[in-house]
Chain A
Amino acid sequence: DSGVTQTPKHLITATGQRVTLRCSPRSGDLSVYWYQQSLDQGLQFLIQYYNGEERAKGNILERFSAQQFPDLHSELNLSSLELGDSALYFCASSVLASGGAYNEQFFGPGTRLTVL
């Protein structure tokens, strides 16, 4: 158990809908990262938040947005869903904001999103 929790475990929805995925980082971790894992794209970095502020942006679509709240939990919002958004969405957390000496990331169990 990494200490990172994600809800829900599974989500099935229809095209055009909007969903929210939730992540609680490990106690003491200030950084939260979101990743998308699909069969054809592999594991793609979406976005990082550090202590409530956006820190880095990866391959995140404009239809997707995220935020980190004062209690450090984070939510990833996916809107106008398309079939291609079906994937595993992982959240990870780390103590540090950036690289350098040590930035091991601890991954949550993921949310499996199926768009029908």
Chain B
Amino acid sequence: SQQGEEDPQALSIQEGENATMNCSYKTSINNLQWYRQNSGRGLVHLILIRSNEREKHSGRLRVTLDTSKKSSSLLITASRAADTASYFCATDDQWTGNQFYFGTGTSLTVIP
């Protein structure tokens, strides 16, 4: 399977703390994306990082990508209760480009 894996599977933190989750994948990619999913709802796109980029910021989000290690991390700073959700990384395949492979997700709980 080319599915990525997020680590940790679950994370519980206090409001105001930072949350870091990691994603590992298996194939060469064009880009990697992070999505958020609130319970039972659709996925919301957070950020895209291209294979030639190493770091990207968007508001309280910081994403890094290490293609040599086939891994990425998502950092959410100054977390809020509203950040409680599952977070998925998604990769495409550098050669086919069409299929999206989603990781297993990290369930984040931010305690007020």
Contacts and interface: CB of A to CB of B under 8 A. Distances in A.
Interface of A: 2, 4, 33, 35, 42-45, 48, 55-56, 58, 88, 90, 92, 97-110, 112
15 contacts: A42-B3, A42-B104, A42-B105, A44-B102, A45-B99, A45-B101, A99-B92, A99-B93, A99-B96, A101-B50, A105-B90, A107-B43, A107-B44, A107-B45, A110-B41
A45 B45 contact: no
A112 B99 CA distance: 23
Contacts of B33: 104-105
Given A90-B43, A103-B31, A98 B98 contact: yes
B97 A98 contact: yes
Given A103-B92, A110-B40, 5 more contacts: A33-B100, A45-B100, A97-B98, A99-B31, A104-B48
Interface in B63-112: 88, 90, 92-94, 96-105
A100 B93 CA distance: 10
B30 interface: yes
B interface, size bucket: 20 to 34
Contacts of A97: 98
A23 to B, nearest CB: 11
Given A88-B40, A99-B31, A112-B40, A48 B45 contact: no
A52 to B, nearest CB: 15
A99 B105 CA distance: 22
Contacts of A2: 42, 44
A43 B88 contact: yes
Contacts of B3: 42
Contacts of B90: 105
A99 B48 CA distance: 12
B55 to A, nearest CB: 18
Nearest to A106: B45
A78 to B, nearest CB: 19
